[in-house]
Amino acid sequence: MYNPKGNVMSNYFLPAVEAAVWNQLQQENNINGIYDQIVEPLHEEMYRRQNFELMDELTDEQQLMLTYDYVKMQVMQGGFIQLIQNGYVGLLPDMPGWLYALNINDMAEVIDDALKVFVLNRELLTKTTTVEEFALLYAELKEFEAIDDRFMELNESTILAMVNNALAHPGNFVTLI
The pLDDT value recorded for residue 2 is 37
The pLDDT value recorded for residue 52 is 80
Average pLDDT score, the chain: 92
- 7 pLDDT higher than 90: no
Per-residue CA distances from 3 to 58, 77, 105, 141 (Å): 11, 33, 20, 38
Nearest to 141 by CA among 109, 118, 108: 118
Stated length of the chain: 177
pLDDT tens-place string over residues 21-38: 999 999 999 999 999 999
Element containing residue 75 per DSSP (H, E): helix 60-85
The Cα 80–Cα 85 span in angstroms is 8
The CATH number of 14-169 is 1.20.1420.60
pLDDT tens-place string over residues 84-105: 999 999 999 999 999 999 999 9
Q: What is the pTM of this model?
A: 0.89
Element containing residue 138 per DSSP (H, E): helix 131-140
Element containing residue 176 per DSSP (H, E): strand 175-176
